[in-house]
């Protein structure tokens, strides 16, 4: 056996961190099976009631909403991010490439509260959009953009774009230009080159990016909380409502597990698909 | 139609929408900046005047001051711990094969997929059941776990790019494994480690959802304090703090791009 | 590595620098934020600091959020004094989170209305009402609310704002309209379901409630009188209505956190808060009803809707539900409300 000089002292901290995380998740799993005493944080014995409660229409509808919003967000994010990623990688001027990157990536680091609050300012009845539209004479009464699914999705898309743009840009940067040039030499117009060469080559990145954004949006909290205003509920908001605001820890735990299962399930189901795509792209 | 005109038309068909999309991405920041200097408590566009009163209030509000300090404390500990553990783990994965390695990797990478509110809730329950309540220890532990995957990935990439010949040369010259680590490996890993540490620090400073669960009032970080403020006051003070954060991060990004070649780090420059 | 040692030194320095911030002895009061905290600071905390030299630090949050955090941190409480709604205070009491009050240490308590002694552990500070209110400039001319039933009228469709953290008031009102009361509230369920199309948004806090009113998103709300008056002071044209069935009374109460390290100081804070002059000052700021009989409220203030100063008013205008019932039903109401009204 090869000598492993640092194994133990590197292994133990990693193990400790992993055990902490497992313990935290274990707590959630444990609480999910306990009886909830209304008005108290003390939990009772073993029960499956909390899971049965999931079947009530409202929770199914919140789950449905969450999936819908996540799907819509990831698709729109893809649609809007691809052109920007393309521009960022293929623009001729260095300045333009840097500018686009700065505009696209900086928001990622300002933190979600800042970004969510900014959208409240933009979408509110007296907000930016309504004021501009009103002074342009395009609308009489303010548009109700806050507290709607539409408002939440608009904000979530802008949230997710930086990550998607980075993923797509990385993929685009690795596309072999020679393939494109070959196609052009064979007489293909730019649109055809894109459709038949560039797009398929970037497909693995497209798929994995979309799935990443989907999973990420599933766990969105501050956006539906502040922009949805209680009328747009995603799983995360329900966990908060039930957990911290109703101290029903057992049911909040069940909801957390559900969110986790859906996130992992969606990522897991795509994996074989993505690796097949990557294989295809590599062969080509 | 001449080829030039066609190309020009195509270009504007492309750049037009791209410009619009970029505007969509930047409008919130722009609106925040505008609101932060508005003298009135109610929202209005364009602002009726120019005033720094919200900045004054943001700086003097005790909750923000405490939260800012809390954030620094938590981030300092969390990102440093994350760096130590993450680097150790990256080294482990790069150099050693051992039973349970895949499981360990999966567990430590899982915070990337697990919703932050799940992780936060789990640590809240763990802290409560261990009698630690919502103390600094719990908040720091949460942040470490959340930032670990990012740090270890960054350091791992650096490790992979390391030329093993250098370490072998040092060993051949008689250096002990510890000396090799200290005088060859670590210095070579420094850019990756610094990058990882910075990434962990930024993620920890701006982390909100998990922190909402694990922080108490005394330990609350700045994003949580801002959220509480939005729920309690209706004036543009948050706009002032947000504007400061936006300006600060933009300046940081400009510097990072100029001196570190951000595009290279993000691997988005075309070959 | 130089970088690492620098980092360690920096952390150590920061910790040392912040140590004095933490060591200073002060009384920590947990309360709602915004105008509630500001008012308490102005009327009570300043006087307390003047008399004892001890600074007061406020920590803020939502009603139930603070209860949950108090329960989690019960072994090392964050605050010394808690101000919360009276019925949620009953939940604190049942969890053993408040100290039993030694009335001998609260001389000002002898002048309180009987209704102020909520339990041996918490005392009422002031009263207010949750009642329908509307923007006079955003509703049709001549619009008025004379009964809770008016919230169901077609003019309110898509304009109503309701609290999501405590649905007691609308549930109690619906129950009354249906001929029931808080205990058999389920008779009001059909009415509540009819109300759904009228609801535009829910508010999670005092500030979001005021936001919705100020911006006109929900020109009609079941609104806390104190928040209504606060906005009227800012120039927003709001009319508060006391429906003929009465307005749902709320009492905010104060208690001493179990296990506090500043017991004597906490008692002093409570006693000052119950002082007639301080009560008058507090109610002048909040526009609420005082709990101390001897508090002399400004006559203009006493005339305001929702400010109860006479037994007559308490009898005819107030819908009061006892703490224990309300505390017991709150989680049930919240669950029902979340599952049926919020979607």
Per-residue pLDDT tens digits for B51-85: 888 898 888 888 888 899 999 999 999 999 999 99
Q: What angle do CA B97, B170, B264 make, to 5 degrees?
A: 70
Chain A residues with beta carbon closer than 8 angstroms to that of B92 = 7, 10-11, 14
Q: Which residue in B36, B268, B269, B271 has the most chain A C-beta atoms within 10 A of its own C-beta, making it the best mutation to test that interface?
A: B268
Question: Does a structural domain hold residue C289?
Answer: yes
For residue A60, pLDDT beyond 90: no
How confident is residue C279, by pLDDT bands cut at 50, 70 and 90? very high
Q: Which residues span the domain enclosing C294? A: 25-127+250-309
Distance from C-alpha of B100 to C-alpha of A11, rounded to nearest angstrom: 11
How confident is residue C84, by pLDDT bands cut at 50, 70 and 90? very high
More confident residue, A47 or B108: B108
Those residues with Cβ within 8 angstroms of residue A228's Cβ, 6 or more apart along the chain or in another chain = A147, A149, A151, A152, A234, A237
Q: Do C65 and A244 touch (CB under 8 A)?
A: yes
Distance from C-alpha of A108 to C-alpha of A127, rounded to nearest angstrom: 23
Domain B61-236 sits in CATH 1.10.3720.10 = yes
ipTM above 0.95, yes or no: no
Average pLDDT over residues A247-262: 87
Question: Does a structural domain hold residue C285?
Answer: yes
One domain, residues C204 and C336: yes
How confident is residue B148, by pLDDT bands cut at 50, 70 and 90? very high
Question: Does a structural domain hold residue C2?
Answer: no
Average pLDDT over residues B152-156: 87
Question: Does a structural domain hold residue C1?
Answer: no
Q: Do C330 and A39 touch (CB under 8 A)?
A: yes
One domain, residues C64 and C108: yes
For residue A23, pLDDT beyond 70: yes
Average pLDDT over residues A44-60: 82
Question: Does a structural domain hold residue C325?
Answer: yes
Q: What is the pLDDT of residue C13?
A: 56
Q: Which of B3-17, C4-18, C296-310, C315-329 has the lowest mean pLDDT?
A: C4-18
A:B CB pairs within 8 Å: 263
Question: Does a structural domain hold residue C46?
Answer: yes
Question: Does a structural domain hold residue C314?
Answer: no
How confident is residue A5, by pLDDT bands cut at 50, 70 and 90? confident
Distance from CA of A11 to the nearest CA of B (A): 7
3-state secondary structure of A191: helix
How confident is residue A150, by pLDDT bands cut at 50, 70 and 90? very high
Cβ of residue B183 closer than 8 Å to a chain C Cβ: no
One domain, residues C36 and C107: yes
Averaged confidence pLDDT in chain B: 85
Q: Do A39 and C203 touch (CB under 8 A)?
A: no
For residue B233, give the nearest of C18, C21, C207 by CB distance: C207
Cβ of residue A148 closer than 8 Å to a chain C Cβ: no
Distance from C-alpha of A99 to C-alpha of A93, rounded to nearest angstrom: 10
Q: Do A10 and B21 touch (CB under 8 A)?
A: no
One domain, residues C224 and C290: no
How confident is residue C17, by pLDDT bands cut at 50, 70 and 90? very low
B:C CB pairs within 8 Å: 77
For residue C19, pLDDT beyond 50: no
| DSSP type of residue C100 | P
Cβ of residue B234 closer than 8 Å to a chain C Cβ: yes
Which of the other chains make 3 or more beta carbon contacts under 8 angstroms with chain A?
B, C
Beta strands C199-203 and C160-163, pairing class: parallel
- Number of structural domains (chain C) is 2
CATH topology of domain A50-283: MetI-like fold (1.10.3720)
One domain, residues C133 and C122: no
Do the beta carbons of residue B270 and residue A170 sit within 8 Å?
no
- For B163-214, the pLDDT digits (tens) are 888 888 988 888 888 888 888 888 888 888 888 888 888 889 889 999 999 9
Cβ of residue A174 closer than 8 Å to a chain C Cβ: no
Distance from CA of C32 to the nearest CA of A (A): 15
One domain, residues C184 and C74: no
Alpha helices (runs of H) in A91-197, residue ranges in sequence order: 94-105, 112-123, 128-135, 149-173, 177-185, 190-193
Q: What is the pLDDT of residue C205?
A: 81
Domain boundaries, chain B: 61-236
Whether this model's pTM surpasses 0.90: no
Question: Does a structural domain hold residue C103?
Answer: yes
Cβ of residue A233 closer than 8 Å to a chain C Cβ: yes
How confident is residue C1, by pLDDT bands cut at 50, 70 and 90? very low
Burial of A269 (0-12, 13-18, 19+ CB in 10 A): exposed
Q: Which residue in A1, A7, A13, A14 has the most chain B C-beta atoms within 10 A of its own C-beta, making it the best mutation to test that interface?
A: A14
Rounded to the nearest angstrom, the gap between the alpha carbon of residue A17 and the centroid of all alpha carbons in its chain is: 25
Output the domain CATH number for residue C143. 3.40.190.10
Cβ of residue A229 closer than 8 Å to a chain C Cβ: yes
More confident residue, A168 or B233: A168
Residue whose tokens read 């691997």: B267
For residue C21, pLDDT beyond 50: no
How confident is residue A3, by pLDDT bands cut at 50, 70 and 90? low
For residue C283, pLDDT beyond 80: yes
Domain boundaries, chain A: 50-283
Q: What is the pLDDT of residue A161?
A: 93
One domain, residues C111 and C50: yes
Averaged confidence pLDDT in chain A: 84
More confident residue, C204 or B140: B140
């Amino acid at each position: 056996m090869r000598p492993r000089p640092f194994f133990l002292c590197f292994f133990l901290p990693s193990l400790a961190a992993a055990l902490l995380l497992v313990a935290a998740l274990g707590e959630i799993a444990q609480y999910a099976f306990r009886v909830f005493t209304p008005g108290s944080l003390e939990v009772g014995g073993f029960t499956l009631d909390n899971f049965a409660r999931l079947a009530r229409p409202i929770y199914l509808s919140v789950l449905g909403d969450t999936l819908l919003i996540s799907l819509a967000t990831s698709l729109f994010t893809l649609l809007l991010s691809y052109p920007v990623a393309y521009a960022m990688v293929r623009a001729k001027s260095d300045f333009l490439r840097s500018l686009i990157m700065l505009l696209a990536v900086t928001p990622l680091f300002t933190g979600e509260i800042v970004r969510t609050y900014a959208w409240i300012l933009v979408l509110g009845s007296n907000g930016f959009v309504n004021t501009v539209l009103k002074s342009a004479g395009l609308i009489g009464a303010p548009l109700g953009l806050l507290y709607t699914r539409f408002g939440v999705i608009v904000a979530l898309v802008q949230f997710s774009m930086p990550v998607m743009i980075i993923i797509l840009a990385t993929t685009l940067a690795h596309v072999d230009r020679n393939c494109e040039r070959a196609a052009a030499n064979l007489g293909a117009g730019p649109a055809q080159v894109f459709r038949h060469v560039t797009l398929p080559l970037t497909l693995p990145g497209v798929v994995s990016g979309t799935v990443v954004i989907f999973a990420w949006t599933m766990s969105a909290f501050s956006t539906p909380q502040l922009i949805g205003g209680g009328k747009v509920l995603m799983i995360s908001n329900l966990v908060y409502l039930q957990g911290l605001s109703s101290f029903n820890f057992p049911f909040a735990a069940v909801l957390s597990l559900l969110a986790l299962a859906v996130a992992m399930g969606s990522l897991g189901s795509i994996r074989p698909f993505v690796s097949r795509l990557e294989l295809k792209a590599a062969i080509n | 139609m001449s080829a030039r005109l066609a190309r020009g038309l195509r270009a504007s068909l492309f750049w037009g929408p791209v410009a619009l999309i970029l505007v969509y991405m930047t409008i919130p920041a722009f609106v925040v900046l505008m609101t932060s200097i508005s003298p009135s408590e109610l929202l209005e566009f364009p602002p009726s005047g120019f005033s720094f009163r919200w900045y004054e209030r943001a700086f003097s509000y005790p909750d923000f001051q405490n939260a800012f300090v809390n954030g620094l404390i938590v981030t300092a500990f969390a990102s440093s711990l994350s760096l130590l553990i993450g680097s150790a783990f990256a080294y482990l994965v790069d150099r050693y094969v051992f039973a349970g390695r895949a499981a360990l990797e999966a567990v430590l990478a899982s915070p990337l997929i697990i919703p932050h509110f799940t992780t936060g809730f789990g640590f809240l329950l763990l802290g409560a059941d261990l009698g630690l309540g919502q103390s600094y220890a719990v908040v720091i532990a949460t942040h470490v776990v959340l930032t670990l995957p990012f740090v270890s990935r960054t350091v791992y990439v650096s490790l992979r790019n390391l030329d093993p010949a250098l370490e072998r040369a040092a060993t051949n010259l008689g250096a002990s494994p510890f000396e090799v680590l200290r005088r060859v490996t670590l210095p070579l890993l420094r850019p990756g480690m610094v990058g990882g540490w910075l990434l962990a620090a930024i993620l920890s400073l701006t982390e909100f959802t998990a922190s909402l669960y694990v922080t108490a009032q005394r330990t609350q970080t700045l994003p949580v304090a801002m959220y509480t403020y939005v729920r309690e006051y209706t004036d543009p003070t948050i706009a002032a703090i947000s504007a400061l954060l936006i300006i600060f991060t933009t300046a940081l990004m400009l510097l990072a791009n100029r001196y570190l070649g951000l595009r290279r780090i993000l691997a988005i420059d075309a070959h | 590595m130089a970088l690492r040692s620098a980092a360690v030194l920096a952390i150590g320095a920061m910790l040392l620098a912040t140590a004095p911030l933490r060591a200073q002895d002060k009384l920590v009061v947990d309360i709602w934020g915004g105008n509630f905290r500001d008012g308490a600071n102005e009327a009570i905390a300043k006087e307390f600091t003047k008399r004892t030299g001890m600074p007061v630090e406020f920590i803020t949050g939502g009603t139930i959020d603070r209860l949950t955090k108090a329960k989690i941190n019960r072994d090392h409480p964050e605050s010394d004094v808690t101000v919360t709604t009276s019925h949620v205070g009953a939940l604190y009491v049942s969890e053993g989170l408040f100290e039993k009050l030694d009335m001998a240490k609260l001389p000002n308590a002898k002048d309180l209305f009987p209704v102020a002694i909520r339990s041996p552990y918490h005392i009422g500070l002031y009263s207010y009402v949750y009642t329908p209110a509307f923007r006079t400039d955003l509703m049709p001319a001549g619009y008025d609310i004379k009964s809770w039933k008016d919230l169901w009228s077609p003019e309110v469709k898509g304009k109503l704002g309701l609290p999501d953290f405590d649905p007691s008031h609308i549930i109690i009102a619906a129950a009354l309209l249906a001929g029931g009361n808080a205990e058999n509230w389920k008779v009001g369920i059909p009415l509540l379901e009819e109300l759904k199309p009228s609801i535009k948004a829910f508010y999670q806090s005092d500030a979001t409630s005021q936001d919705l009113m100020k911006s006109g998103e929900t020109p009609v709300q079941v609104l806390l009188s104190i928040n209504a008056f606060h906005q009227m002071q800012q120039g927003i044209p709001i009319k508060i209505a006391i429906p003929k069935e009465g307005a749902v009374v709320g009492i905010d109460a104060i208690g001493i956190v179990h296990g506090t390290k500043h017991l004597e100081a906490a008692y002093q804070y409570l006693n000052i808060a119950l002082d007639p002059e301080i009560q008058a000052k507090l109610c002048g700021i909040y526009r609420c009803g005082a709990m101390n009989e001897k508090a002399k409220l400004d006559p203009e203030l006493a005339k305001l809707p929702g400010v109860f100063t006479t037994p007559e008013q308490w009898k005819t205008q107030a819908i009061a539900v006892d703490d224990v019932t309300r505390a017991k039903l709150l989680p049930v109401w919240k669950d029902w409300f979340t599952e049926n009204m919020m979607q």
